[in-house]
Amino acid sequence: MLYKKLGKPILFSMDPEKAHHLTINGLHMAVALPGGKKLLNSLYGVPYSPALAQTLWGIEFANPIGLAAGLDKNAYAVEGFSQLGFGFMEVGTITPKPQQGNEQPRLFRLPEDGALINRMGFNNIGIEAMAQNLRRMKRRDIPIAINIGKNKTTPNESAEDDYRNCLRGLYELGDFFVVNISSPNTPDLRNLQHGNDLNRLLDAVKDEMEQQKEKHRHSGKPVLVKIAPDLTDDELEQTVRSIMDSGVSGIIATNTTLGREGLQHPNKEQTGGLSGKPLTRRSTEVIRRVYQLTEGKLPIIGSGGIFSAQDAYDKLRAGASLIEVYSALIYEGPELLGRLSQGLKTLLKKDGFTHISEAIGADHR
């Protein structure tokens, strides 16, 4: 209740992007104070539950709830977010070179719709500065995924070079990686989800991951692909087939949407990617279809409109192994993580399951 009574009224009185930076800087500063991490964990940490813990790709996840990419773009507040009860988090999207992103204002709240619209445009500090931030971390408490993209000025025919550079510069520092080809805010980026462009990019990514594996004498790291919710069924089928053929480790479904159906707030006219409650149903539908197309053989991270334990559970039953939140954290605050965790345990028990693995893809059985 602390967030809704005190934090949210202050943050929602501010410009959304300024509130975003205040949150990131506040979490960074909090863990720098003596006892700061312990205080955050005591306020918001989620108790460990064997029923929610699982191992995927050789990585241990204490619970299935992750932080989606876009909130901590530069890996500046990883230690702070790690104390809030997440089972993992994504940082980024990062690009090889720093870039300013699109002109402000570029982030908009739609409170009546429980939604956000952003057209940030991959604003970030670049791989070298992110690497410094990650190396400064004293301790890693949860798995970290690095979400990678291409610079705006890089044409699609050269996109693979940008993704290779991200992997080269950050390979040692990520537990796993996410190839972002589905943001609507970088011109033509979504075209990389299709046909020869997708095949060429994924071949390059897999080749680079193998090179880094040999260079660092490592057993290898997972790489996932993040897809859009706006694909037609035919497009989704072709995209998933290419992803399966490439041998990558998993899929994140989904990114933000260009759809505006049913919105009430005047900000619905803003361009950019829509996230939050309006995406709940569609993202679950995509997860269900991806699970069918892959026959459950490729782990899925479900993202889009998760505000309640039921929302999260629906995505697990549809086929997601892990889930991610973003917009709900803005609206509900860090107390959300405890409610999701406790709610998932209740829903598992209600269905007669003793472990989360029994619920994954249950709708298909």
- Rounded to whole angstroms, the Cα distance separating 23 from 19 reads 6
Quote the strand ranges of the chain, DSSP E: 54-56, 59-61, 65-67, 88-94, 107-110, 115-118, 144-148, 176-180, 223-227, 250-253, 273-276, 300-303, 322-325
What residues contact 214, with CB distance under 8 A and at least 6 apart?
none
- Rounded to whole angstroms, the Cα distance separating 285 from 121 reads 26
Which residues are tagged catalytic? 183
What residues contact 127, with CB distance under 8 A and at least 6 apart?
94, 95, 96, 165, 166, 169, 170
What residues contact 207, with CB distance under 8 A and at least 6 apart?
none
Are residues 293 and 313 in contact, defined by beta-carbon separation less than 8 angstroms? no
Neighbour-count burial for 322-352, b at 16+ CB within 10 Å, e otherwise: bbbbbbbbbbbbbbbbbbbbebbbebbeeee
Q: What is the dihedral of CA 173, 178, 183, 189, to 10 degrees?
A: 100
- Rounded to whole angstroms, the Cα distance separating 226 from 255 reads 7
Are residues 159 and 150 in contact, defined by beta-carbon separation less than 8 angstroms? yes
For 316, the 3-state DSSP assignment is helix
What residues contact 242, with CB distance under 8 A and at least 6 apart?
195, 198, 199, 202
**In this structure, what token pair is assigned to residue 265?**
């707030």
